[in-house]
Amino acid sequence: MAAVTTVRDVLYHYTFARGVYERLISDCDCHPQVARNVVALLLWFDQGTNKIISHLPSMSTSALGHLLDEANCIIHCLRMRNVPGPPTPLLSALCHDSQMDHPHYFAFNQGRIVHGITNLLDGVCTLIFDDRLYHLLRRYQTGLVGRNLELEAPYEHVVVSVPEDCRSMFVTFSKGQPVERDDIFNYLRETWGDCIVRVLMEKNTGRAQPMYGRVIFKSKAFVSLMLNGVKHASLFIGGREIWLREYIPRNSNNN
C-alpha cells in the first residue's frame, strides 16, 4: 500500500522554496505577490527536483536580487505575444539549460510556462505561502506542539473554485479607442492558452463606444500573474492599449 502524502510532508519537501520566499520579502524588499510568482516560476524550472531551489536560501542577497530581476523580466514578457525573452544568465546557469539563451525560448514555451506557474500557485503553493501552517510546523519541530491533525491530514491537489469576482479583472480603454471583446478574448487565449472564461463589455445604447469591460479568468492565479505586484497592467492589442486592474465588486466598495 502506497504511503499517504500528508500536509506536513509537503511542507517539509518545499522548505527550501519557503526559505526563498521569505528571503525575497525580507532581504530583497519584494512585494509578496511578486515573491509568490517568482518562487512558482523557479519551482516550474526546478520541476520538483530541488536541484535549483536548494541552492537559493544560502545565495548572497546580491545574487538573489539579480535572480529576482531576471524572473521579473520573464514574468513581464509572459504577458505579451511574440516578444524576445530577456537575458537570463544566472537562471540559465542554475538550470544548466543553454536553450534558455535562445531569444525566443520564452515565446515558444509561453503557454506551457504560464500554466505550469498557475497550476503551482493553485496547488502546492497554497501550502508553501501559508504563514500559519509554517508557524504550526515550526512549533511542531521544536516540540511546542504534539501531534496535529491538520499537519497529518492527507494532501490532495484539489483546485478550490473561487467566485468569478475573485478571478476577474476590470479593463479600461483610452477614450475613443476601445478594443473588441473578441480581440481581447483571442489575445489572451492565444497568449496563455485555456485561461479565460469570457469577456464582458459595457452595455451602451446607440453608437456610444464602451469605456470599460471585465475579463473573467479560470483561476485567480492568472490575475496574480497579470498584475505581479502592481495595481495596473497594460497590454497592446491590435495597436491599442488596454489597462487591467483587479476587479472590485460594487458591494465591496460600499463596505
Domains of the chain from N-terminus onward: 7-142 (no CATH), 164-246 (3.30.70.330)
Mean pLDDT confidence for 193-215: 88
pLDDT at 249: 81
Q: Considering the entire predicted model, what is its pTM?
A: 0.90
Q: Which of 25-34, 56-65, 107-116, 144-153 bottoms out in mean pLDDT, i.e. has the lowest? A: 144-153
Cα–Cα nearest to 144, from 136, 152, 132, 134 = 136
SS in 3 state form for 92-152? HHHHCCHHHHCCCHHHHCHHHHHHHHHHHHHCCHHHHCCHHHHHHHHHHHCCCCCCCHHHH
pLDDT at 1: 44
pLDDT digits (tens, 9 = 90+) for 57-109: 889 999 999 999 999 999 999 988 878 888 999 999 888 887 888 888 988 89
pLDDT at 222: 96
pLDDT at 255: 43
Residue with cell 469591460: 213
The conformational region for residue 229 under phi > 0 = left, psi -120 to 50 = alpha, else beta, is left
* Residue 232 pLDDT exceeds 90: yes
pLDDT at 2: 55
Mean pLDDT over each residue of the chain, to the nearest integer:
89
Q: Which residues contact 253 (CB under 8 A, 6 or more apart)?
A: none
